[in-house]
Copies of this chain bind each other. A is one copy, B any other.
Amino acid sequence: MSKNTLDNLFAPRSIAIIGASNKKGKVGTVITDNILKLGYKGKVYLVNPSYKILKLKRCYPSLEAINKEVDVAIIAVPAKFVNEVVAKSCHKVKNFVVISAGFSETGEAGTLREKELSKLAQKHNLNILGPNCLGFIVPKLKLNASFAGGMPKAGNIAFISQSGALAVALMDRAKQENISFSSVISVGNKMQLAESELLEHLSKDKQTKVIGMYLEGIKDGEKFIETAKKVSKIKPIVILKAGKTEKSQKAISSHTGALAGSDDIVQIAFEKAGVIRADDLEEFFDLLALISFTNAPKNEKVVVVTNAGGAGVLTTDAFKGKEIVLADLNKKTKEAIKNTLPSEASVENPIDLLGDADENRYDDALELLGKKNIGTLASVLTPQEQTPVEKIAEVIIKSRKNGTSNTVAIFIGGDRVKKSIIELKKNLIPNFSNPDSAVKALNKYHQWNVFRKSKNQSEVSKTNSSRKKEIAKIINKALLEKRGALFFSEAAEVMKKYGITPVDCLEILPNCEISEVGKYPVVLKVDSDKVLHKSDKQALILNIKNAAELKNAVEKLRIDFPQERFIVQPMQDKHAELILGIKRDGIFGPVIVYGLGGIYTEVFKMVNFLIPPMSLGEIEKEIMKSKIGFLFAGVRGQKICDVHEFALIVKGLMEFALENEKVREFDINPLFIYNDGRSSSAVDIKIIL
């Protein structure tokens, strides 16, 4: 069956409204009015068995009764009738928008109903938006196929919202901000059309320059990353993701698992996919306006001109910790600007045009700077008594038209700057009421651009099926014995297949003799799926110096652990102690967690996350940027550890994660690494089934 694209859904030539009505306050009435009265040029068919004529138009008793082609059917009838409508017409109509609530959001009966609808969609290759959604709006077609009022301005922002109410609020606010839309789509329960499907569609939509999303959940994490990564190479995706607060996590027995909160993983997934994440609603607006109005800054350099020293200092502060920077101007440029200004003016960036600056001072400075290789020109203004605010706005508008830098404004004030801000926005110059917001948004736009230009290194890891089989054998044996975890010796065998070297180990089974140990000192540990945090449960004895001590130690541990197997390992010194492992995320699948180990692991939270698959080069790059990068970069004359060696271990772990889906959690804790040429060694390995 050929793929049914979304073009017909979002640019329909004909629409049928099932549940069209003229009763006041009904959703069907609002939608009918929105479609009929706001200028949509396509064919519209009304469906409602209670009417013959409605809104002066013929009204059909059913969708099947319409003897013409219907691109989209909008369904606004009670939930219990929805599936029937779809089932009866799905041979003819391929695109549905289900406005009706009463599906998976309302409990068991609704969930069943949604499953049935989903099956219909699959079987008949349908596109279904919703259910439980507001509908969608395409301003360029004057098509408001939703029950939100009004028609936003046609523009280049596609907005996808998981909350209908927020979509309405955003459109209302957008008018004030002069930002405008290619489409507004409410996804409701995301039964079939979720973020990935819409991203895919919008990436090809020529009207859309930037995709903004409000999301509460993500439907299929792996598909999302793959799609978003591809789309981010073409156009920016800005996401406001709600649900940062952790719900109580299920009992997690591995160290690694407990270290990764679900929002940390969302964050890393967004980074991997090049998604621009908005921290809050204000920043979401700021980013949409900035990206809608301007191109990504061609480089990281920003020059600020200001008529208020204080605002200049605040702007400088805002650059702290950012990737965009205040450009260093060369002597020649500074002199040229200095010549146009009174002697007290400062030509260090931010350039202080002084409190009495008129439009000519801004003009001269912007004119000169516009010819330089600067990413962004930011004009800061406070409305002093003598400040010709409107004229300065005009000058900034002119400079935008002539220059190649991005232009943003930071006009700080109220009534005195209001009119000019509107004028600026009309001319596609975003204004920020606050230097911090401006710099934050510009920085994120720049970061996206760096992502866009970066080479795509990811490779799909090939599954090694013979390896997979061998490991399945080991795992199945443990499962048959009803163990929740592998023994160390088994885990060690598994890890060796992925190039990870475990520490030497001798096993002592219950009621068995102790074999001879070659070299002391050693450590004695309980090796059991019932003892996962050994130091918590006093299930290990360190620094055993000879056979007699070992015998004593075994007897001592036998008291508390009569039926468990023990292992003997050499005592190891260490340079640094790491922890790494796998967490299975409900949304994004396996996530590699790595960081600093030892008693402070939880205290320092020096952990990092990676989502497979990744190439070795990418892994190395991420490790160097990570919180433990210092181990491989050298600090205060310390010798460095081998990042390549560690990256290979991480890569091995990724392959393991992808090949062995039955493994629920996984910890190597600790992994000792060295900076003197010795190979790293995995001291304890926990594979939890």
* Residue in B165, B177, B603 whose CB lies within 8 Å of A382: B165
A436 within 8 A of B: yes
Which B residues are in CB contact (< 8 Å) with A355? 164-165
A173's nearest neighbour on chain B, judged by CB, is B414
Bound Cα distance from A638 to B536, whole angstroms: 9
Is A166's CB under 8 angstroms from B310's CB?
yes
A375 at the B interface (CB under 8 A) = no
A627 and chain B: residue at smallest CB distance: B603
Of A45-53, A297-305, A316-324, the stretch lying at the interface with chain B is: A316-324
**Copies of this chain, count:** 2
Interface residues of A in 147-174 (CB under 8 A from B): 147-149, 161-166, 168-169, 172-174
A599 interface residue (CB < 8 Å to B): yes
* Cβ contacts under 8 Å, A168 to chain B: 382-385, 413
Assembly CA distance A55 to B175 (angstroms): 47
A163-B311, A317-B242, A630-B603 as given contacts; A414 in contact with B281, CB under 8 Å: no
Instruction: Say yes or no: is A279 at the interface (Cβ < 8 Å to chain B).
Output: yes
CA distance A319 to B174 in the complex (A): 26
A245 to B161 Cα, complex, angstroms:
38
For A575, give the chain B residue with the smallest CB separation: B599
Contact of A340 with B by CB under 8 A: no
Q: Which residues of B contact A637 (CB under 8 A)?
A: 535-536
Asked if A149 and B385 sit within 8 Å, CB to CB, the answer is: yes
CB contact under 8 A between A636 and B384, given known A164-B355, A169-B308, A169-B412: no
Task: Check: A417 CB closer than 8 A to any chain B CB.
Answer: yes
Q: Once the chains bind, are A245 and B319 in contact (CB under 8 Å)? A: yes
Contacting pair A244 B317 (CB below 8 A):
yes
Indicate if A313 sits at the interface (CB-CB under 8 A). yes
A350 nearest CB across to chain B (Å): 12
Chain B residue numbers with a CB within 8 Å of A96 are none
Shortest C-beta distance, A160 to chain B (Å), equals: 13
Given A245-B317, A635-B599, residue A308 in contact with residue B165 (CB < 8 A): yes
Write out the residue numbers on chain B whose beta carbons fall within 8 Å of the beta carbon of A242: 310, 313-314, 317
A176, CB-defined interface residue at 8 Å = yes
- Do the beta carbons of B434 and A309 come within 8 Å of each other? no
Which residues on B sit within 8 Å (CB–CB) of A433? 173, 281-282
Max chain B C-beta neighbours (<10 A), residue from A25, A174, A308: A308
Indicate whether A216 reaches chain B with its CB closer than 8 angstroms: yes
A339 within 8 A of B: no
Known: A106-B344, A175-B414, A436-B279. A384 touches B165 (CB 8 A): yes
| Complexed CA–CA distance, A316 and B280 (Å) | 12
Q: Which of A404-449 contact B (CB under 8 A)?
A: 412-418, 433-437
Would you call B382 and A169 a contact (CB within 8 A)? yes
Say yes or no for A562: interface residue by CB 8 A criterion.
no
Q: Does A434 contact B317, Cβ atoms closer than 8 Å?
A: no
User: How far apart are A212's CB and chain B's nearest CB, in angstroms?
Assistant: 14
Q: Nearest B residue to A309 by beta-carbon distance?
A: B163
Q: Among B319, B416, B638, which residue has its beta carbon within 8 angstroms of that of A599?
A: B638
Closest chain-B Cβ to A667's Cβ sits at a distance in Å of 15
Return chain B residues, CB-CB under 8 Å to A435.
280-281
A416: nearest chain-B partner, CB-CB: B172
With CB as the reference atom, state the residue of chain B lying closest to A637: B536
A608 contacts B by Cβ under 8 Å? no
Cβ contact of A280, chosen from B174, B243, B434, cutoff 8 A: B434
Question: In the complex, what residues of B have CB within 8 A of residue A436's CB?
Answer: 279-282
Give the nearest-CB partner of A174 in chain B.
B414
In the complex, the answer to whether B414 meets A177 with C-beta atoms within 8 Å is yes
**Nearest CB of chain B from residue A226's CB, rounded to whole Å:** 26
Interface residues of A in 537-552 (CB under 8 A from B): none
Question: Could you tell me the distance in whole angstroms from the C-beta of A158 to the nearest C-beta in chain B?
Answer: 18
Interface string of A309-351 (1 = CB under 8 A from B): 1110110111110000000000000000000000010000000
Q: Is the CB of B166 within 8 A of A282?
A: no
* Assembled-state Cα–Cα distance A533/B106 (Å): 66
User: By the criterion CB–CB under 8 Å, are A176 and B245 in contact?
Assistant: no
Residues in B neighbouring A84, C-beta threshold 8 A: none
A50 to chain B, nearest CB (A): 23
Contact of A307 with B by CB under 8 A? yes
Q: Contact: B317 with A281, CB < 8 Å?
A: no
List B contacts of A164 (CB < 8 A). Answer: 355, 384
Sorted from nearest, which 4 A-B pairs have the closest CB atoms? A163-B310, A165-B308, A169-B382, A176-B414
Provide 17 A-B residue pairs closer than 8 Å at the C-beta atoms, listed in order of the A residue.
A30-B385, A148-B384, A163-B311, A165-B308, A165-B311, A165-B384, A166-B412, A168-B383, A168-B385, A172-B383, A173-B413, A240-B314, A242-B317, A280-B435, A281-B435, A602-B635, A604-B604
Additional pairs, 11, CB under 8 Å, beyond known A163-B309, A172-B414 = A148-B384, A165-B308, A169-B311, A173-B412, A173-B413, A176-B415, A245-B319, A281-B434, A281-B435, A282-B282, A599-B636
